[in-house]
Chains A and B, each alone.
Chain A
Amino acid sequence: MSTDTDTTRQRIQTEVQRALQRGFKGIEYVASAGPAVGRTPRDVVHRRGTLALYHYRPMVDEIYRVPLLMVMALTNRGYIFDLSPGQSLVEYLLQRGYDVFVIDWNPPRPDEAGLRLEDYTQDFIPDCIARVQQISGEPDLNLVGYCMGGLLSTIYLALHPKTPVRNFAAFTTPIDFSKMTLFHKWADRKHFDVDRLIDTTGNAPASMIFSAFDMLRPADRGAGLIKLLDNLWDDEYVKSYRMFGRWGADILPLPGELFRQVTKELMWNNSLLNNELVIGGQRAELGNIVLPVLHVMAEHDHIVPFDAGRPLIDNIGSSDKEQVVLKGGHVSLVAGANAVKRMWPKLDDWLGERST
């Protein structure tokens, strides 16, 4: 009986302390800027309009021979790979002995509204690969692509069978666009006049892309705020909430022509899956990809569902290929506490033996 009373008293004390902390921390939250992100030391190696190539400074004395090039999704900022010390995939890879380069994207300028898949897969990615080769002095490299970065990398590899890329790791990469559930529904040609949109706006506005992501889970923002209030006493929770919140809201516009092409070729015609996607006069056939491939997908991914990503491994010509489904969502797969113990070790395990 006395134990029950003690427990209840302890519980009440804890809740009172937390309530007080919520008050103090709430004021601190409003008054302070969010935590700094993307702080791992790096050099901007190359910049051309929307394209930026970073080279991160090695953290160990001995690194793997084969450098690693990561391609970020076009809709978001690359600092999801480098949130904060201890929560940075880049930092983790550097500490594990990789020579890390990242392709990040700046908001496309109005004069870049004409950029198409051709520019990304036949110019930007090959250009960055050549620079990585030159800087590292190595003839080959490994490629990692996240979401739409994985899609661009896949199209690049399908177009370049004689690539210097030795291994490819994709995270949550969509291939079958008919399985992109709500996105596919909203972009239905019956209702969505992509030509009128792009002819009017030039680039696809970031606000529209943000709303589309937001609408996939309409209750998340409200519930997230309630959970934040509940956890305001917990510094780690608040830090994580702010970092992910900032990243989630930091959406980039998409080049208009690319948006038009993705909508028509991929959303409407599912051309990549059907081996009908023609880029610069050349057909991007998934069967052309014969190098070792790892595809990591998230079990609760609401943006790229499992069925949308599965055909990557099913349709490529590689004999050394592996598909892994990990617990988590589209973002928590690559960043945050779950990624640290799930995806990162898997990636290191797969890449390490292929990086010598």
Chain B
Amino acid sequence: MIKPATLDPLAHWRDLVTQVEKGVNQFAGKAMASDGFSSSVNRLTWGPLVAKKLAADLAAGVAQRLNVPTRADIVALGERLQTIEDRLIEVTYMLGRMNGDAAAGTVGAAPRPRRTRKPPAAKVAVPEAKTVAAPKRKPRARKAPR
């Protein structure tokens, strides 16, 4: 039986949005695959990146003349702090583990889970899964290392 078309204007509006979205994406996908687009987008990306770099260099020069730390100095300081923090994280974790290990077996200590789990006997059916068989391979000729 043919389903009657809905008279709900909101449902039409939602369909329209989805269709426009698909249409624009399809059209843009084709347009953006052209050489002209690739060339233009690379040129357009390049401008702001260079401007940003120039601005950063200029700001660093000014900071140096004023004898104040530059962004690079602050970033370097942050990196040193981060390295210390990284080591602290490791030490904290190791101490925690050592403490846990020492406490294992004592009253009140949380035991580690047993590593004895077995998979359930019944397999799960996955809806809408397609297993794609790999085609048989022809042996590929080896090329000399570069």
On A, residues with C-beta under 8 Å from B are 11, 15, 43-49, 58, 60-65, 97, 99, 109-111, 135-136, 138, 181-182, 185-186, 188, 190-193, 196-197, 200-201, 205, 208, 211, 215-220, 222-223, 226-227, 230, 274-276, 278, 283, 287, 310, 313-315, 321-327, 341-342, 345-346, 348-349, 352-353, 355-356
CA distance A62 to B145 in the complex (A): 48
> Is there contact, CB below 8 Å, between B79 and A109?
yes
> Is there contact, CB below 8 Å, between A219 and B28?
yes
Interface band, chain B: 35 or more
When A185-B32, A226-B17 are in contact, do A275 and B140 touch as well, CB less than 8 Å?
Answer: yes
Q: Interface majority SS on A: helix, strand, loop or mixed? A: mixed
Task: Fill in one digit per residue for B109-129: 1 if any A CB lies within 8 Å of its CB, else 0.
Answer: 000111111111001101111
The minimal Cβ–Cβ distance linking A43 to chain B, given in whole angstroms, is 6
In the complex, B3 has a CB within 8 A of chain A:
no
> Is there contact, CB below 8 Å, between A326 and B129?
yes
CA distance A268 to B115 in the complex (A): 46
Chain B residues, Cβ within 8 Å of A341: 127
> Is there contact, CB below 8 Å, between B33 and A110?
no
In the complex, B105 has a CB within 8 A of chain A:
no
CA distance A11 to B6 in the complex (A): 13
Chain B residues, Cβ within 8 Å of A314: 134-135, 137
CA distance A190 to B38 in the complex (A): 9
Q: Show 30 residue pairs from A and B whose CB-CB distance is below 8 angstroms, ordered by the A residue.
A: A44-B89, A45-B93, A47-B85, A48-B86, A62-B114, A62-B116, A62-B117, A97-B117, A110-B79, A186-B41, A190-B38, A191-B42, A192-B38, A205-B49, A218-B28, A219-B25, A220-B21, A226-B17, A227-B17, A230-B14, A275-B143, A276-B146, A278-B145, A278-B146, A283-B145, A310-B132, A314-B137, A327-B128, A342-B127, A342-B128
Chain B residues, Cβ within 8 Å of A196: 46
Indicate which residue in A44, A64, A99, A322 contacts B93 across the interface (CB closer than 8 Å): A44
> Is there contact, CB below 8 Å, between B113 and A61?
yes
In the complex, B102 has a CB within 8 A of chain A:
no
> Is there contact, CB below 8 Å, between A324 and B17?
no
